[in-house]
Amino acid sequence: MKKIIGLDLGGTFIKIGVVDENGEILEKTELPTPQGQGRAQVIKVMSESINNCLNDSSRGKFLGIGIGTPGLVDEDGKVFLAPNLPDWNNLNLKKIFEEKFSIPVKVENDANAITWGEYKFGAGKGYDNIICITLGTGLGGGVVLNGKLLRGTKYSAVEMGHIPICYKGPKCGCGNLGCIESYVGAKYIVRATQEKLKKQDSLIKDMVGGDITNIIPKIISEAYHKGDKVAEAVWVEVGTYLGAFFSGLVNLLNPQVIIIGGGVAQVGEILFSTIKKVIDERSFSLLAKEVKVVPAKLGKDAGIVSAASLFLS
């Protein structure tokens, strides 16, 4: 049985595991990402965790090491402009780890990797054309067209969260104005809720002890499931923004399925049904009726499975 090491590099945690060719995790571990210690320390922790996986099994049985990382990734496995990681720019992860371990390494943007993992083993299995997003602090995403992961001329591209939907919109963390992420990321959702609470009573206030600075998306989700009208209005608004955003992508790409994962998506059906309703209203009807909007399936281990899946084309 051939095996693959999948490593999901995040700003907070490094998740790593050994995965078989069917996408099953055979072993896994999670380590904190070193904070404020420079990229050499992050690479050291990555190396140690990879070495532990290799030492537990025969090295010859591994197809390779797949790495999902924030940032733009070029065709040579070099990473640029990674948020939340120190000095993570112009860094050739592929070369570093191939020279260290003498086995093949594939590096991909983390959202692109998640898209490929969902295509191979998750909610996108059985389809040829998919859009996949992860919705949490921000919005990341990827596209598979005709069975191939969509990349740019040289870089991973498909920076979906930074597609502007309003040229005079709010400033995004990337510095641009009106990016979709600045309307549906966790900070926006909290801010929109706080504004509504200035005009309307809500269970949410009780859930945070009257201190609205303690609001997080999970609390808004819980309030919605308890029947709170403010929370319902927030999620309909988020779904409407996403639906309008996806309407353009449906017209552009004619996907079969749109997959939505990440912590914010856990609110459930109200988000998915609102998105689909807006797509049906705003996209070309022939294209809209072809597309499904579904939750991601790979769950909390998505990053590990997806990084490993880079070796399964």
175 in the same domain as 81: no
pTM of the full structure: 0.94
For residue range 200-229, what is the model confidence (pLDDT) as tens digits?
999 999 999 999 999 999 999 999 999 999
141 in the same domain as 276: yes
Angle between helices 217-225 and 186-197 (to 10 degrees): 60
- If residue 231 lies in a helix (H) or strand (E), which one and from where to where? helix 229-253
The pLDDT of residue 228 is 97
Q: DSSP for 20-47?
A: ETTS-EEEEEEEEPPPSS-HHHHHHHHH
137 in the same domain as 109: no
Residue 203 CA to residue 205 CA, distance in Å, equals 5
DSSP letter, residue 302: H
147 in the same domain as 270: yes
198 in the same domain as 134: yes
49-63, 66-80, 165-179, 181-195: range with lowest mean pLDDT: 49-63
240 in the same domain as 197: yes
Residue 158 CA to residue 173 CA, distance in Å, equals 17
Count of structural domains within the chain: 2
226 in the same domain as 148: yes
278 in the same domain as 231: yes
235 in the same domain as 189: yes
272 in the same domain as 156: yes
> Containing domain of residue 54, as a range?
3-117+301-309
Question: Could you give the C-alpha distances from 270 to 131, 221, 241, in angstroms and in order?
Answer: 20, 10, 13
pLDDT (mean) for 37-53:
93
Report yes or no: 29 and 44 within 8 Å, Cβ to Cβ.
Answer: no
User: Where residue 60 falls among pLDDT bands split at 50, 70, 90?
Assistant: low
For residue range 287-298, what is the model confidence (pLDDT) as tens digits?
999 999 999 999
275 in the same domain as 142: yes
Token couple for 287:
């294209």
| CATH code of the domain in which 150 resides | 3.30.420.40
Which one is predicted more confidently, 56 or 37?
37
Report yes or no: 40 and 46 within 8 Å, Cβ to Cβ.
Answer: no
Question: Could you give the C-alpha distances from 220 to 31, 35, 40, in angstroms and in order?
Answer: 29, 30, 39
146 in the same domain as 55: no
Residue 69 CA to residue 250 CA, distance in Å, equals 27
The pLDDT of residue 88 is 86
Nearest to 184 by CA among 132, 111, 240: 240
